[in-house]
Amino acid sequence: MSALPGNLAFDEYGRPFIILRDQDKEKRLTGTDALKSHIMAGRTIATTLRSSLGPKGLDKMMVSSDGDVTVTNDGATILKLMDVDHEIAKLMVQLSQSQDDEIGDGTTGVVVMAGALLEQAETLLDKGIHPIRIADGFEMAAQCAIKRLEQIADHFPIDLNNLEPLIQTAMTTLGSKIVNKCHRQMAEIAVNAVMAVADLEKRDVNFELIKLEGKVGGRLEDTMLVRGVIVDKDFSHPQMPKELKDVKLAILTCPFEPPKPKTKHKLDVTSVEDYHALRKYEQEKFSEMVQQVKDTGATLAICQWGFDDEANHLLLQRNLPAVRWVGGPEIELIAIATGGRIVPRFEEISADKLGYAGRVKELQFGTTKERMLVIEECRNSKAVTIFIRGGNKMIVEEAKRSLHDALCVIRNLVKDDRVVYGGGAAEIACSIAVAEEANKISSLEQYAFRAFAEALEAVPLALAENSGLSPIETLSEVRSRQVKENNPALGVDCMLKGTCDMKEQHVIETLHSKKQQLVLASQLVKMILKIDDIRSANESEGY
Amino acid sequence: MVSLNPVRILRNEAEEERAETARLSSFVGAIAVGDLVKSTLGPKGMDKILVAHGRSAGQVEITNDGATILKAIGVDNPAAKILVDMSRVQDDEVGDGTTSVTVLAAELLREAEKLIEQKIHPQIIIAGWRRATQIALASLEKASVDNSGDPEKFHEDLLNIARTTLSSKILSQNKEYFANLAVEAVVRLKGSGDLSAIQVIKKLGGCMEDSFLDDGFLLDKKPGLHQPKRIEKARILIANTPMDTDKIKVFGSRVRVDAVSKIAELELAEKEKMKDKVNKIVNHNINVFINRQLIYNYPEQLFADAGVMAIEHADFAGIERLALVTGGEIVSTFDHPEMVKLGHCDLVEEVMIGEDTLLRFGGVPLGEACTVVIRGATQQILDEAERSLHDALCVLAATVRETRTVYGGGCSEMLMANAINDEAARTPGKEAVAMEAFSRALRQLPTAIADNAGYDSAQLVSELRAAHSKGDHTTGLDMEQGVVGCMKDLGITESFVVKRQVLLSASEAAEMILRVDNIIKAAPRRRGPDNRPC
């Protein structure tokens, strides 16, 4: 009795030894039990995501704790919104999160991969192999798979004059999302956006320069790329002109109000003279502020704060259109785009700190009085905004997420132009290589190697299953053809186009993303396999 | 054994519905919402009573407008929420067709449910639907008529559209009257399509025929005491400025005095300041002063002395509209009279409507704005009449922008359904089944219209279908007679934009719901007990 861990130990008189405080109130799992329970949890998460994989994958509807509905296909978003309680399940959530942060795409794939590895690990545990040996074997197999990936990687030419291959790639990423209704258009938008901000010399893309802005209404086809900035604001006075040309912008972070000293102070009005003086000061201050801005030659004032009715009217009177309450990140974006400097004080404003934009206009939507400002033809044309329209809120949000994924993929291609083929082709190629390698190993790890090879097949299996093909048949056919024809570009034909060659179908994934998937998944599994004891405070009443 | 314990992944109270259960729950929710509003469809559709709860508990609203109904019912089902959201967007975008879009989406899902039962993969259904939408759109575009070249015909088109839209609403008994009214109001906008220039004032009492369109501008306000009630050749200053006590805006200032006499002095100074301000305002050579904010008694008296009509508390929309109409600008500082643009109008006078006095600004230079006064016996009738008129105005404004029209009365739905059916017959593969389902869903709209009017829908719809197959592309349902008739002769016309938006939004939303195979609900947020007194 006392040998069982997790239970209380008793001496020969039947009195318990209390070793840890509140020991009897804690839930504790150890050894194989703990492992099995973890594997269970990990696999459950993976099965949930499995049906979202691939171009024919289905969506999930998430209801938040306040009742808001999100419909999505993006693995990271699903897991983020899932109200997960289990510790290991939380690890899986973080796994897809880190893939999202690092790469931005393949978030579903990495979880499915980890789930498959866990499933294989369970069978190996049943065979009586020690978890650490399994973990080591997986690690070695992952190295082997990555080596194979590098062998089969192709170079993907990036040429500003020929964007076609890039657009094809973007279309692959968007294929699994709801936006594939206007597939080509979205792909072009994504490619053009990245190319506009990309620094091909340094092979870097600054994502801060690409803004995704959504507005419910219209249809997906109305989505457009604006080479400039869109701000969800309107001019401060209804009678200011709705369209400006050759604009010089003054970007202010100080309010059009009498100055406030930072130190605490009191101003006492004790006599009539004081009162008059104060009144005069106030009036002068307002016109002085407007004059200062006007003197620099600015034709538009963008202000982070609000302004008083009086200042507002003075601005109108002096023909100086203004926008108020523009948020911090937007102000920065405007400053970058127009090449202006953010001015924190009226005294510091000068002509060389102004930004320049070719056109600023107000857009109006539908029957409601909603307006947005578009700042176009800026000095620094690098900042772009993708403006998404859609039939309802969920579609706009989902389109935003999908485009973000596509942007990430293209960015990764710009950063590293080596690619592998998608549609499960890379996984099958790795699986073959790992299985071959397995036979050369004389130790226990051979089993782990073989298991890894089988786990790699989970992705093409799920792809085939989601596309309505018979999974095992398809997989075995593709596998044998890969070996026979020695062509690592053969994958699962999800779109039923009649060819398995992913090169022809333009199904491409970046090498970096695939590598990251394998590494992250095997690391997570290794970590889970190493846990043999879990203790948690027993939950509140009722459990 | 411990390992036999179920592993709980989700938080307590969080739920997950999978595959068939998830689909079932979203289908059921969406179809229920569709059925709820279905009975309001068409010229003989019924109304709903909505009883508010919460803050304004017990307030009754009677309406026929899909968006209003859906906004008021609190739905819990996530799929139903998508439909409600969609109908709201339809309301914001084109203003009308909110019921049609919901019914169409729900019918699409009803068809999808049958197909899923036949083990057809959702993605295949979606592929079929997408093709069907393309075909429907193409045929709708082909059938649309553009009369924008001929002003007389276009005016007739507008009248027809207004009549068709109003025929399903409470205003249907006076639809001729209101159609004229709405068209005139929109034509006045001269193509700008800015509905904010049309002001709708509701006044209880009288009957609906007493409603009228005023070419001037009505403001539901009174001038101050002892001020002129009637001004010809008015010069108007529109302002947004505090006219109570002009506070000192310098931060942290306060008044501290050591003797009572000083307070009196300060008070005098304050008064002086206000007097200065009033003088400055009067110096603009005006005889009407309209302020968005409060005007205190003292300045009011000063204005009266100067013979200026002063109006306080005109709300922001009112101020903006007035500025638009009279051509003045909204002013907050008064130091440079020469730089301020004043508004002008020929006559400002008080008029009586029912028991209330309103200010009428007649002979405004920019005739773009106008006011519609709605009269009616009860508040509910007024509200519903306003909504109906708003729908009609929205549709008309949209038509002025996009001048194409299509025929109503189920005509264009049947046209699209037939076009899809023809194409489906030529399409090999499982998508054809989905396309047929799409056309069946489209045919449900005329069916619902006929059902609501109490006619034999099966008979009528089959007659309609036969007529369209023969190539009679203007045939639709005549719900006055209960027969199939030519929509061109009956003048039942709808805006192309509205129809297109209905088709696109409905298929988009239905597709979105169909793609879902898993519903994961988070645990509801715990809220503290509501201790507010109500």
The tens digit of pLDDT for each residue in B89-130 reads 888 777 788 888 899 999 999 999 999 888 888 888 888 898
From the list B68, B99, B403, B474, the catalytic residue is B99
pLDDT for the residue B104: 92
Instruction: Tell me the shortest Cα–Cα distance from B261 to chain A, in angstroms.
Output: 10
Query: Is residue A286 pLDDT above 70, yes or no?
Result: yes
Query: Cβ of B486: how many Cβ atoms within 10 Å?
Result: 16
B184 shares contact with chain A (CB less than 8 Å): no
**Mean of per-residue pLDDT scores for chain A:** 80
In sign, the C-alpha dihedral spanning A65, A71, A74, A75 is positive
Is the per-residue pLDDT at B2 higher than 60?
no
Greater confidence (A134 vs A536) lies with A134
* Better-scored residue on pLDDT, A458 or B533: A458
**Is pLDDT at B429 greater than 80 in this prediction?**
yes
Interface test with A, best of B11, B253, B495 (most A CBs within 10 A): B253
- Contact state of A59 with B517 under an 8 Å Cβ cutoff: yes
Q: Do B252 and A61 touch (CB under 8 A)?
A: no
Tell me which residue in B85, B329, B333 faces A392 most closely, judged by beta carbons.
B85
Interface contact B516, partner A, CB < 8 A: yes
CB A419 within 8 A of CB A104: no
Average pLDDT, chain B: 80
Segment B370-376 mean pLDDT: 83
Q: State yes or no: is A74 an active-site residue.
A: yes
pLDDT at B439: 92
Q: Does B20 touch chain A (CB under 8 A)?
A: no
Which phi and psi (to 5°) does residue B193 adopt?
65, 15
Residue B168: pLDDT over 80: no
Q: Please report which confidence band the pLDDT of residue A540 belongs to, taking 50, 70 and 90 as the band edges.
A: very low
CA of B275 vs chain A CAs: smallest distance (Å): 14
Q: Does B337 touch chain A (CB under 8 A)?
A: no
Tens of pLDDT, residues A435-482: 988 888 888 888 888 899 999 888 889 888 888 788 888 889 888 988
Residues of chain B contacting residue A85, judged by C-beta atoms under 8 Å apart: 8-12, 14
Closest Cα partner for A119 from A419, A482, A376, A458? A458
Beta strand pairing call for A342-343 and B356-362? unpaired
Beta carbons of B223 and B360 less than 8 angstroms apart? no
Query: How far is A286 from A320, CA to CA, in rounded Å?
Result: 14
Whether B252 has a pLDDT exceeding 60, the answer reads yes
How many CB pairs lie under 8 A apart between chains A and B?
A: 241
Q: pTM for the full model?
A: 0.79
How distant, in Å, are the alpha carbons of A84, A85, B25, B84, B525 from that of B13? 11, 11, 18, 26, 10
Q: B477: which strand partners?
A: B484
Confidence of residue B194 (pLDDT cuts 50, 70, 90): low
B525 touches chain A (CB under 8 A): yes
Confidence of residue B293 (pLDDT cuts 50, 70, 90): confident
> A48, A70, A72, A107: which is the annotated catalytic residue?
A107
Task: Work out the minimum CA distance from A451 to partner chain B, whole angstroms.
Answer: 24
User: For residues B442 and B413, is the Cβ–Cβ distance under 8 A?
Assistant: yes
Q: Which has the closest alpha carbon to B388: B401, B404, B376, B403? A: B376
Mean pLDDT is lowest, of A406-410, B157-161, B256-260, B440-444, for: B256-260
Q: Can you tell me the mean pLDDT for A362-372?
A: 68
- Determine, for residues A316 and B3 on separate chains, whether the beta-carbon distance falls below 8 Å: no
In this predicted model, which residue has the larger pLDDT, B296 or B103? B103
B475 noted as active-site residue: no
Q: Which residue has the higher pLDDT, A414 or B241?
A: A414
Candidates B2, B320, B508; nearest CB to A395? B508
For residue A185, pLDDT beyond 60: yes
The band of B243, judged by pLDDT with boundaries at 50, 70 and 90, is confident
Q: How far is A539 from chain B (nearest CA, A)?
A: 11
Domain ranges for chain B = 15-146+407-521, 217-368
Question: Is residue B120 helix, strand or coil?
Answer: coil
Tell me if A392 and B82 make a contact (CB, 8 A cut-off). yes
Query: C-alpha distances in angstroms, B384 versus B42, B60, B65, B373, B377?
Result: 16, 12, 8, 14, 12
Dihedral angle sign, alpha carbons of residues A415, A421, A423, A428:
negative
CB–CB contact B508 A66 (8 Å): no
d(CA A4, CA B110): 57
In this structure, how many other beta carbons lie within 10 angstroms of the beta carbon of residue B266?
18
Test A61 with B7 for CB contact under 8 angstroms. no
Q: What is the pLDDT of residues A91-119, one digit of tens each?
A: 888 888 888 887 777 788 888 899 999 99
Homologous superfamily of B217-368 in CATH? GroEL (3.50.7.10)
User: Is the confidence at residue A46, as pLDDT, over 70?
Assistant: yes
DSSP state at residue A375: E
Calculate how close chain B gets to A205, using CA atoms only, in Å. Answer: 32
Q: Which of B65, B214, B383, B478 is catalytic?
A: B65
Which pLDDT score, from 0 to 100, does residue B528 have? 64
Do B121 and A468 make contact, defined as CB atoms within 8 angstroms?
yes
Beta strands (DSSP E) in A422-461 are none
Specify the residue for token string 């002096």: A318
Q: Are A193 and A408 in contact (CB under 8 A)?
A: no
Record the tokens describing residue A199, joined without a space: 């620094």
Is B15-146+407-521 in CATH node 2.50.20.10?
no
The pair of three-digit structure tokens given for residue A29, joined into one six-digit string: 């799992």
A385 in active site: no
Which residues in chain B have their CB less than 8 angstroms from residue A268's CB? 253-256
Mutate to test the interface with B, among A27, A39, A367 (most CBs of B within 10 A): A367
Helices (H), A256-327: 272-295, 309-317
DSSP state of A162: B
- CA atoms of B171 and B480, how far apart (whole Å): 16
**Percent of chain B predicted with pLDDT > 70:** 89
- Chain-chain contact of A391 with B253 (C-beta, under 8 angstroms): no
- Beta carbons within 10 angstroms of residue B443's beta carbon: 22
- Show which of residues 189-218 on chain B sit within 8 Å of chain A, judged by CB atoms: 195-196
Select the residue of B76, B82, B333 nearest A313 (Cβ to Cβ).
B333
Give the mean model confidence (pLDDT) for residues B472-493: 84
- Residue A356 three-state SS: strand
What's the complex ipTM?
0.73
- For B90, the closest chain A residue by CA position comes to A217
Which among A71, A81, A278 has CB closest to B250?
A278
